[in-house]
Structure 1
Amino acid sequence: MAAEHQAPSILGFPHRPEWGPAAHRKALAGHLRRCRDHAGLAPRQAARCIDASESTISRMENGLATMKPTEVERLLDLYGVIEHAERQRIAALVHEAAKPEAWQEHSQTAPAALRPLLAMEPAARRIISYEPQLVPGWLQTEEYAKIVVRAVHPTWSPQQVAERVALRTQRIEMLRRASNPPVLLAVMDSEVFRRRVGTPGTMYRQIRHLLTLHEELRYQLHLQIAPLSVGAAGAIGHPIVHMRFFASEYLPDMVYLEQYEGAVYREKPSESERYQAILNNLCGVASPPDQTRSLLEEGLAAWAALAQEPP
């Protein structure tokens, strides 16, 4: 049978709880769409099968709706998916996709624009981050994060601030997990280390924290610093995160573009490839990774003098 006539398979996407519900839901959504296409059925026919609307099918096939096991089983019957192994794997993915997202514990303070990033980053194989203004959220100390959150949300209660800080600082734990942790390549503008956030002591402790992480997570965390001399390559002006996933044939690359009051996501291959090229160029002109420690130590010494701390 020609490859183009072979039934789509989900067996290449493993059941990995540490990747989070969103990754399982997105992989399953794409698979259901491919199964429907392979069966030669229109969305309205699938909708009729489960007594739903075409918009419900669209949401299911884009990973935006909760999938009920009985509905998925009826769709699989309609699409002619009869292989036991396929249906077992799909059932496992449906079960995983229904679990709460990690950010839901902090749903009152987790910004809606950030939730897709928070939901998908545990499934990332490689994350590239560019930050022109602040230390990236994964790498912030609680002290630094509290000041940043308070600056953006001056009317929040101490409890709300604490919840957002906890959500932000716990993200680093995915780099410490035992099973296939992501690799994070974080590029920061050199001005991040000159821009005072809090007291000189706050900056001193933040840079010391980066040095500790740089040593502790040497295989999972790679830091680069982009000096002003990079010119136009570093004149992006807003944070960018590019994620590539495990089982990438089921999960397309995702790009997160942060804005002051929201975010934009890009998943079309042409768009994600364009931002990949921008970040690759920036990594190429930033200071090499083997210079990062000495640059951080220079920043630490400068803030130590102001904070009257030992360098």
Structure 2
Amino acid sequence: MADEGSRKALPRRQLGRHLRAQRTAEKLTLADVAKSMEWSISKLGRIERGEEGKIRKADVQQLCDILGFTPERTAVMVGLAQQADVKSWWHAFGDLIPDGFVMYVDLEWAAHEMTIYRPDLVPGLLQTAAYARALDRIYFPHDSEEEQEGRVRLRMERQAIVSRKTRPTRVDVVLHESVLHTIVGSPATMAAQLRHLADMSTKDNVGVRVLPYTAGVPIGVPIGPFVILDFKPDEDGVTEPPVIYVENFTGDMYLERGPDVESYRMASTTIQRAALDAVRSRTKLRNVAREFLS
């Protein structure tokens, strides 16, 4: 049985991919189809990319008619749209999730395995509540106390993918050593955070390793934070392609093209080879935690 994230994120992406492939095969442009639907090009583009947004059954049927789908394939497309309309737990947090991040939370919840590199901060999936709270107070200075606590709860809810008993997500993280020494909150907050990372790294499905200062620049150029999300086959044996999530200050990117995925996999492999092994990483985390309290 598919989990909640799969019921929502993956069907929506599959629907968009089928629609885009058929439109391309029929040699129709986004503008051609959008005009026939009396939609904006941007709306159709969002649907084809599998982004957040409700699409009615009648709209799917009309789209399929324009694109020349058979009745059988149209029925499949309608089914995908209905699965994608299932509400997920994170919708209760409403405006507390930044624009564009809802799709990432969907994909994160559905992923079978995540490979993460962070040269700057502890990733949200492994943050303590105190560390998350300290960050959000800086990034969202005008939020009320209630909104701040809502953001922290959201972070903690997201972490359920790592600890859930049924098919917990495999998470492999490499942190640059500078993350261990960058004070977020207070020394006490950092000590607790680093101890938490060390404890989490003992779980079978969690890997936490440190890229030391002595490793230099492993791939020859600086690289920002990224996540590689991999998915398992669904009940019909269809495997969603991997997604690279690249986070930056002005806008995030989702990369699915083969060459882009391969480039980030190669970068990740190089970074992992340069990182300390699991045991030495755990020791360093605990040693730095003690230094914060000395």
Letter of the structure 2 residue corresponding to residue 236 of structure 1? P
Counterpart of 1:244 in structure 2 is 230
Q: Which is higher, the Rg of structure 1 or of structure 2?
A: 1
Equivalences for residues 243-262 of structure 1 within 5 A? 243-247=229-233, 251-262=240-251
Deviation of 1:266 (Å) = 2.7
Q: CA RMSD in A?
A: 3.0
Q: Does 1:273 align with 2:259?
A: no
Equivalences for residues 67-78 of structure 1 within 5 A? 67-77=55-65
Secondary structure of the equivalent of 2:271?
A: helix
Q: Note closer, same or farther for the CA distance 1:53–1:156 as it changes in structure 2 (3 Å cut).
A: closer
In the aligned structure 2, how far is the partner of 1:127 from the partner of 1:25?
Answer: 20
In the aligned structure 2, how far is the partner of 1:113 from the partner of 1:54?
Answer: 18
The answer to whether the 8 A contact 1:225-1:287 is kept is yes
The answer to whether the 8 A contact 2:112-2:232 is kept is yes
In the aligned structure 1, how far is the partner of 2:35 from the partner of 2:148?
Answer: 47
Q: Which range moves more in the overlay, 129-138 or 109-118?
A: 109-118
Deviation of 1:147 (Å) = 0.7
Letter of the structure 2 residue corresponding to residue 266 of structure 1? L
Q: Note closer, same or farther for the CA distance 1:151–1:55 as it changes in structure 2 (3 Å cut).
A: closer
Q: Does 1:227 align with 2:212?
A: yes
The answer to whether the 8 A contact 1:15-1:93 is kept is no
In the aligned structure 2, how far is the partner of 1:226 from the partner of 1:257?
Answer: 19
Structure 2 length as normaliser, TM-score? 0.83
In the aligned structure 1, how far is the partner of 2:174 from the partner of 2:288?
Answer: 16
Secondary structure of the equivalent of 1:29?
A: helix
The answer to whether the 8 A contact 1:27-1:250 is kept is no
Deviation of 1:29 (Å) = 1.0
Q: Does 1:166 align with 2:153?
A: yes
Counterpart of 1:92 in structure 2 is 79
Any stretches of 5+ residues in structure 1 without a counterpart?
1-13, 307-311
Letter of the structure 2 residue corresponding to residue 241 of structure 1? V
In the aligned structure 1, how far is the partner of 2:24 from the partner of 2:106?
Answer: 27
Of the three residues 287, 301, 305, the one matched with 2:276 is 287
The answer to whether the 8 A contact 1:20-1:122 is kept is no
Deviation of 1:41 (Å) = 6.0
Q: Give CA deviations for 1:202-243 in whole Å, capped at 9, x if unaligned.
A: 12221222233223x32x211111100110128636322222
Letter of the structure 2 residue corresponding to residue 302 of structure 1? E
Counterpart of 1:201 in structure 2 is 188
Letter of the structure 2 residue corresponding to residue 164 of structure 1? R
Secondary structure of the equivalent of 1:204?
A: helix
In the aligned structure 2, how far is the partner of 1:57 from the partner of 1:198?
Answer: 43
Any stretches of 5+ residues in structure 2 without a counterpart?
none
Q: Note closer, same or farther for the CA distance 1:257–1:28 as it changes in structure 2 (3 Å cut).
A: same
- Number of residue-to-residue matches in the alignment: 288
Q: Note closer, same or farther for the CA distance 1:88–1:222 as it changes in structure 2 (3 Å cut).
A: farther
Deviation of 1:303 (Å) = 2.9
